[in-house]
């Protein structure tokens, strides 16, 4: 038996420990019985017996009672059924494959969200990734062209590193919504997942790219991919950095233009929804809403296996009883 397992022991029937209250009764009964077996001799004086040595049989006779008490305690503990348990879990997950398609055009540096649209989008996307523990997620970035920053993966640590590295200027400037959607669809077309989702985030109007957004929409519908679209930007004008002829950067108020009819069309025809994020809080709430709409089905079944430890205690009780009987009728045998 591995005695380390006793650190996590439990008892199936702990009520049997109340029987241990009989031990004081056993001690009292043994003491009273011993007095009954003692003979009595009347003597005028005990002065002559004071120097006589005490027999070792007299000294060790209480060992019989100790053995009986140990046997009784071990038997009671065995009846309480000491056991340890080992719990294992079987996880059945119907994961969702998700691609985040994020606009990184120059307009994403506008500061109507804090510190700007780009950093706010990255922060909320990373929080979203943390909430999707059982899903494979990929990352596509686009501006005037598109690029797969991270293929769909279960390694969310790597995905978050790639999210942190995206910035404006990595690709040719512009807003190619059709390219961003088409590349995201391409990442999911071979997926075997039960549900395939794209979260497409942009702050502008499609003005470039080799793939028309409506063409990309038809491709997404063909592969039964649901698209949630997010328009980022305040209503009206937003402060945006602009490079001056002398190379300096100045903030200018720029009109916020988002092709909401296109975004709504893409979302509705694929079974998704369109959201408008005008500040950091609304953007965070949008990702939270998408997270609730697209929940993975995860079933966790627990199996608990019990290991019984009463047998060694029963053997201890039997050994003590046998030893007590043998000693009682041999070394410690009483004469009639």
Pairing mode, if any, of strands 249-255 and 237-243? Answer: antiparallel
**pLDDT tens digit sequence for 176-234:** 999 999 999 999 998 988 889 999 999 999 999 999 999 999 999 999 999 999 999 99
Please tell me the distance from the alpha carbon of residue 278 to that of residue 175, in angstroms, as a whole number: 19
User: Exposed, middle or buried by CB within 10 Å (0-12, 13-18, 19+), for 205?
Assistant: middle
Task: Give the CA radius of gyration of the chain.
Answer: 40
Token readout for 109 is 């540096």
| pLDDT of the residue at 2 | 53
Residue 94 has pLDDT above 80, yes or no: no
State the average pLDDT over residues 254-259.
Answer: 95
State the average pLDDT over residues 12-21.
Answer: 89
Asked if the peptide bond before residue 115 counts as cis, ω within 30 degrees of 0, the response is yes
Contact (Cβ atoms closer than 8 angstroms) between residue 122 and residue 164: yes
How many CB atoms within 10 Å of residue 224? 11
Whose CA is closest to 90, among 275, 331, 332, 301? 301
What is the CATH number that goes with domain 97-294? Answer: 3.40.50.410
Phi-psi region of 247 (alpha: psi -120 to 50; beta: other; left: phi over 0): left
Residue 6 has pLDDT above 60, yes or no: no
Token readout for 84 is 């340890």
Between 222 and 293, the more confident residue is 222
3-state SS, residue 218? helix
Least confident of 50-59, 156-165, 271-280: 50-59
Please tell me the distance from the alpha carbon of residue 112 to that of residue 260, in angstroms, as a whole number: 18
3-state SS, residue 322? helix
Least confident of 25-29, 234-238, 303-307, 331-335: 331-335
Residue 1 has pLDDT above 50, yes or no: no
Percent of the chain scored above 90 by pLDDT? Answer: 55
**Alpha carbon of 335 to those of 13, 26, 328, 330, 331: distances in Å?**
43, 23, 11, 11, 11
User: What are the boundaries of each domain within the chain?
Assistant: 9-34+55-87+303-331, 97-294
Residue 65 has pLDDT above 80, yes or no: yes
Please tell me the distance from the alpha carbon of residue 265 to that of residue 273, in angstroms, as a whole number: 9
**pLDDT tens digit sequence for 35-59:** 555 555 555 555 555 555 656 666 7
Please tell me the distance from the alpha carbon of residue 298 to that of residue 206, in angstroms, as a whole number: 38
**pLDDT tens digit sequence for 111-129:** 999 999 999 999 999 999 9
């Amino acid at each position: 038996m591995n005695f380390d397992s006793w650190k996590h022991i439990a008892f199936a029937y702990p009520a049997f420990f109340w029987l241990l209250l009989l031990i004081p009764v056993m001690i009292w009964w043994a003491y009273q019985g011993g007095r009954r077996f003692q003979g009595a001799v009347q003597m005028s004086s005990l002065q002559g017996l004071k120097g006589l040595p005490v027999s070792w049989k007299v000294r060790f006779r209480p060992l019989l009672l100790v053995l009986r008490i140990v046997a009784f305690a071990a038997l009671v503990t065995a009846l309480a059924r000491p056991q340890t348990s080992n719990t294992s879990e079987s996880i059945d997950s119907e994961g969702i494959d998700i691609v985040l398609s994020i606009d990184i055009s120059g307009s994403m540096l506008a500061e109507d969200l804090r510190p700007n649209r780009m950093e706010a989008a990255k922060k909320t996307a990373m929080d979203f990734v943390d909430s999707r523990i059982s899903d494979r997620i990929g990352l596509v970035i686009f501006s005037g062209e598109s690029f797969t920053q991270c293929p769909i993966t279960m390694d969310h640590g790597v995905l978050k590193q790639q999210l942190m590295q995206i910035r404006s200027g990595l690709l040719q400037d512009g807003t190619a919504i059709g390219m961003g959607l088409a590349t995201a669809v391409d990442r999911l077309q071979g997926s075997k997942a039960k549900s395939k989702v794209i979260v497409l985030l942009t702050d502008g109007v499609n003005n470039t790219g080799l793939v028309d957004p409506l063409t990309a929409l038809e491709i997404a519908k063909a592969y039964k991919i649901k698209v949630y679209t997010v328009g980022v930007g305040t209503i009206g004008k937003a402060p945006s950095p602009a490079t001056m002829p002398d190379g300096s950067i100045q903030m200018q108020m720029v009109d916020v233009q988002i092709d909401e009819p296109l975004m709504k069309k893409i979302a509705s025809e694929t079974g998704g929804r369109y959201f408008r994020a005008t500040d950091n809080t609304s953007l965070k709430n949008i990702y939270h809403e998408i997270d609730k709409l697209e929940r993975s089905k995860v079933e966790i079944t627990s199996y608990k296996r019990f290991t019984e430890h009463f047998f060694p205690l029963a053997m201890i009780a039997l050994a003590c009883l046998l030893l007590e009987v043998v000693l009682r009728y041999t070394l410690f045998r009483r004469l009639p």
